[in-house]
Structure 1
Amino acid sequence: MRDRFSRLASLSASLVLALFVSTTHLRAESMSPGQTNQACGSPSSIDDGWETASPDSVGMDEAKLCTIAARLTQRATTVHSVVVIRHGKLVFEQYFAGYDQPWGQPDGQYEFTATTKHDMRSASKSVTSLLVGIAIDRKLIAGIDEPVLKFFPDYAAVKQAGWDAITLRHLLTMSSGFKWDEARDWTDPKNDEPHLVTEPDPLGYVLSRPVAAPPDTLWTYSGGNTELLGNIIERTSKTSLEAFAREVLFQPLGITDVEWKNYKNGKLAAAAGLRLRPRDAAKIGQLVLNRGQWNGRQIVSADWIAQSITPRFQAVGYFGGTLFYGYQWWMGRSLAGGKEIKWVAAFGWGGQRIFVVPELDLVMMTTTAQYGQPKEGLAAMDILSNIVIPSVRDAH
């Protein structure tokens, strides 16, 4: 993903390998409170709302899951966490020390445990989509076919031709059609994304973009779309996006240790600023898997979940064109045991991933530090497709 806000030159492959080999395996005697048994990934009990269980008790091969650390060593990949949920129970978690670029903190070596928050980066977009659904459920927003400009009458002076046709649906599906390019290098003056960080009025910047294609005809990945969605929630709820999220989503999920970071201009980063514990991020995946329910409580409507994870566009130009896009959620598939297994996911820059596998009643969450690497997210996909999915011994 291209939500890069503290980018430095990439470490050389040899340095990454050295850092990984020296820090991957934490010794059990030095584990801090909340850290798991690294040898077998047995979940900690930290009273965060998860019921824990052994992999064997939910139809998974524990020995296979315990090969994850060795697999990562073979690939010399800086992964910080792997969390696995099956049948609604936390069955595996493993954490690794390593290099990171955390938002607002120095780049460097960090240790990670079950109680350490991690940048979600663009996985924040998927959470913002859930918040849009909740706002619609609560009648704060009439629906996704509402015109975007209806919510921004104070920006009438910057309106460009074609914006009247853009609706919330188009923002959600990245098909709004306004000119936007964040696939360039961060320092390229033609990259639009840095303007979200540095502009005194980033909303004005987004709303003043010319329309390059009619809405619903061209898929273009754009943090600008998500920033507008976040601000629409703020304007309709009459509170900050973070406060709204805490009230309607995080508190019902039992998520208490959460941050939502601001850009340098002081504006909340709806598209990329969320920081969560990996176990809490996995709750987001479980919520989607349960069609909007958590512990029997309907937090977001089942219809919104169904609409959100319905493929709307081919994600052209991303990961070889094998992915589809819904309402700020990705859809793809893995090949395991000669069979295609479909999944839904939240993706964040650097390899942050929340995978939801409905067919197997499975959630997997990873945090990594593959920032700016050509094969970003490869480690998470490898673990999912070659270890976690194959470890399932049943299909129900």
Structure 2
Amino acid sequence: PCSRRVGSVTTTFPRSTPSALGIDARGVSAFLDALESTPDVEPHSIVLLRHGQLAAQGWWAPYAPERVHLLYSLSKSFTAAGVGIAVREGLVDLDATVLSYFPELDADVTDDRSRRIRVRHLLAMASGHREETLDRARAADPHDLVRGFLLTPPDEEPGTVFAYNQPCTYTLAAIVRRVTGGSLVDWLRPRLLDPLGIDDLAWKRDETGAELGFSGCHAPTSAVAALGQLYLQRGVWDGQRILDEDWVDAATSAQVANPDEANPDWSQGYGFQFWMARHGFRGDGAYGQFCVVLPEQDVVLALTGQSLDMQAVLDAAWAHLLPAIAPVDDAAADDAARDTTADDGLEARLAALGLPPVAGSAPTDDAAGSCDATGVVDGVRLAADADGWRVTLDVDGGILSAPVGVGEWRVEGPLAASAAVDADGAVQLDVRFVETPHLLHVRLDVAAGTATSVWATQPLHDGPLTLRRPAD
């Protein structure tokens, strides 16, 4: 694939149409129908690639292609790529002990199993712990998460059991920083991001200035698709090898069994910061951030969203999208998928995607006012200005302000807002943090002097003032 800049967005893939790539556009439309109608599923973006070309893409307004989106645990797959590049350059040995990269901790870490954890065990979430260690590791050392993790003894021999474990990935990022002498993003920029045409990626850092590694990466949907395409192409991009082929093989195959996971697409085994699935493999993050790679179909599907039911998203892909993809070597089926009328309809639909604004009647002058609030924010003020309405939120000792759309979303910076008056005369106000999955519901009743605020989905490591792209 080639990279080219279009306006402020780097487009990494040559454009095509679904039918030209052996995809029935009606199946893509059915997939969109499912995403938009399934309870606890809210899509924000989709990028669909086949044969390294763009079959379909769309963003549900107020989300937009040039914006980054918080990826939550899909960040792990970017961290792992940094490790893979360091392995290729001879800086990291998968079979070296983790402790060997932190010799200053040698005297502190006395548990034999902790001392036997290897880099490959971190990658496979197979450190020997039976469950998440983040809270215990932080308690063991509030200032050094790597030390706290290594001071938390594994329950079993490393490599023998799976447990989704944030400090494993944090430690991987710390190893990359240790062997390269810089930040994880600094390491990735010339070696991964620039070659793949990813011109905007930022990472939340902890109080020590270190990238979280396991979460906190903000990137556009096109970056997610590009990472998937790199793995689909077995580590080669534009003729340049970025990841070794044996790394790709290991990362995208089961390194440890995880049959006890509840959902079917989470119990097929785990690779190197990738989940194996009923079809292909994927990276994913909380609330519906997905990088799905289907090698048999030569397809990459990148999605962002605010979805509590992530299994439903994959169920919809398997039910509607997968059957619409003609086999790679089946020319007859490929020809049968060539429905240009459906292509045109899908393209028009993708161009007009949007999340519904708040429904109800338009606010009138008596809706303006301010109140103390309960819930997420401390106070709400709604006022008319020359351009319409504006909301101001007092929260966490700071101020958030955004224009408010009526019957639409209005966007300013990292916020989008929409409002309407409900049957009781109160203003229902939705504020979206459009560089993240999250939505805040606010209800303001000036006549009663009350206001409430509640998250649609709970942010995992940020408050309202930091739900945005981190500063570089």
TM-score (structure 1 length as normaliser): 0.75
Determine helix, strand or coil for the equivalent of 2:323: coil
- 1:83 equivalent in alignment to 2:47: yes
Aligned-residue offset at 1:71: 2.0
Q: Percent identity?
A: 28
| Residue aligning to 2:21 | 58
Aligned partners of 2:94 and 2:188: how far apart in 1? 19
Is the contact made by 1:123 and 1:353 (CA closer than 8 Å) also made in structure 2?
yes
| Residue aligning to 1:389 | 322
| Residue aligning to 1:149 | 99
Aligned-residue offset at 1:318: 2.5
- 1:69 equivalent in alignment to 2:32: yes
Is the contact made by 1:364 and 1:384 (CA closer than 8 Å) also made in structure 2?
no
Is the contact made by 1:117 and 1:275 (CA closer than 8 Å) also made in structure 2?
yes
| Residue aligning to 1:356 | 293
- 1:120 equivalent in alignment to 2:71: yes
Structure 1 runs (4+) deviating above 6 angstroms are 193-196
Determine helix, strand or coil for the equivalent of 1:325: coil
Is the contact made by 1:79 and 1:379 (CA closer than 8 Å) also made in structure 2?
no
Aligned partners of 1:58 and 1:228: how far apart in 2? 41
For residue 26 of structure 2, what is the amino acid of its counterpart?
A
| Residue aligning to 1:330 | 275
For residue 146 of structure 1, what is the amino acid of its counterpart?
A
Aligned-residue offset at 1:194: 6.8
Aligned partners of 1:44 and 1:331: how far apart in 2? 36
Q: 1:207-246 counterparts in 2 under 5 A?
A: 207-246=150-189
Determine helix, strand or coil for the equivalent of 2:263: helix
Structure 1 residue corresponding to 2:123, chosen from 172, 179, 182: 172
Aligned-residue offset at 1:297: 1.6
Aligned-residue offset at 1:56: 0.7
- 1:94 equivalent in alignment to 2:45: no
Q: Closer, same or farther in 2 for the Cα pair 1:274/1:47, shift >3 Å?
A: closer
Determine helix, strand or coil for the equivalent of 1:347: strand
Aligned partners of 1:195 and 1:116: how far apart in 2? 36
Is the contact made by 2:137 and 2:151 (CA closer than 8 Å) also made in structure 1?
no
The worse-fitting range, judged by mean Cα deviation, of 54-63 and 198-207 is 198-207
Q: Closer, same or farther in 2 for the Cα pair 1:59/1:378, shift >3 Å?
A: same
- 1:380 equivalent in alignment to 2:380: no
Is the contact made by 2:130 and 2:161 (CA closer than 8 Å) also made in structure 1?
no
Is the contact made by 1:366 and 1:380 (CA closer than 8 Å) also made in structure 2?
no
Q: Closer, same or farther in 2 for the Cα pair 1:291/1:214, shift >3 Å?
A: same
Aligned-residue offset at 1:221: 1.1
Deviations 1:35-64 (A, max 9, x none): xxxxxxxx9995422111011111111132
Q: Closer, same or farther in 2 for the Cα pair 1:232/1:265, shift >3 Å?
A: closer
Aligned partners of 1:72 and 1:179: how far apart in 2? 34
Aligned partners of 1:380 and 1:393: how far apart in 2? 21
Aligned-residue offset at 1:243: 0.4
For residue 169 of structure 2, what is the amino acid of its counterpart?
T
Aligned-residue offset at 1:191: 4.2
Aligned-residue offset at 1:121: 1.1
| Residue aligning to 1:100 | none
**Greater relative CO, 1 or 2 (CA 8 Å, sep 6+):** 1
For residue 356 of structure 1, what is the amino acid of its counterpart?
V
Aligned partners of 1:52 and 1:114: how far apart in 2? 15
Structure with more of its chain in strand, by fraction? 2
For residue 153 of structure 2, what is the amino acid of its counterpart?
P
Deviations 1:118-141 (A, max 9, x none): 111111112211211110111112
Structure 1: state its 5+ residue gaps. Answer: 1-42, 98-110, 183-189, 334-341
Determine helix, strand or coil for the equivalent of 1:220: coil
Aligned partners of 1:206 and 1:343: how far apart in 2? 31
**Structure (1 or 2) with the larger CA radius of gyration:** 2
For residue 392 of structure 1, what is the amino acid of its counterpart?
I
Determine helix, strand or coil for the equivalent of 1:383: helix
Aligned partners of 1:157 and 1:300: how far apart in 2? 35
Deviations 1:77-130 (A, max 9, x none): 211111100010011112224xxxxxxxxxxxxx21111111111111122112
Aligned-residue offset at 1:175: 1.3
Aligned-residue offset at 1:332: 1.3
Aligned partners of 2:183 and 2:222: how far apart in 1? 25
For residue 313 of structure 2, what is the amino acid of its counterpart?
A
| Residue aligning to 2:233 | 290
Is the contact made by 1:345 and 1:353 (CA closer than 8 Å) also made in structure 2?
yes
Q: Closer, same or farther in 2 for the Cα pair 1:180/1:263, shift >3 Å?
A: farther
| Residue aligning to 2:280 | 343
Deviations 1:157-186 (A, max 9, x none): 43131222111111111111146526xxxx
Aligned-residue offset at 1:144: 0.6
Aligned partners of 2:102 and 2:13: how far apart in 1? 41
Deviations 1:238-296 (A, max 9, x none): 11111001121111111111111113554311111211111111000000000001122
The worse-fitting range, judged by mean Cα deviation, of 351-360 and 168-177 is 168-177
Structure 2 residue corresponding to 1:136, chosen from 52, 65, 87: 87
Q: 1:267-306 counterparts in 2 under 5 A?
A: 267-306=210-249
Aligned-residue offset at 1:153: 1.1
Q: Closer, same or farther in 2 for the Cα pair 1:317/1:179, shift >3 Å?
A: closer
Is the contact made by 1:45 and 1:52 (CA closer than 8 Å) also made in structure 2?
no
Aligned partners of 1:236 and 1:283: how far apart in 2? 26
Is the contact made by 2:36 and 2:43 (CA closer than 8 Å) also made in structure 1?
no
Deviations 1:308-348 (A, max 9, x none): 11212222443436321011111111xxxxxxxx3010011
Determine helix, strand or coil for the equivalent of 1:243: helix
Q: Closer, same or farther in 2 for the Cα pair 1:54/1:146, shift >3 Å?
A: same
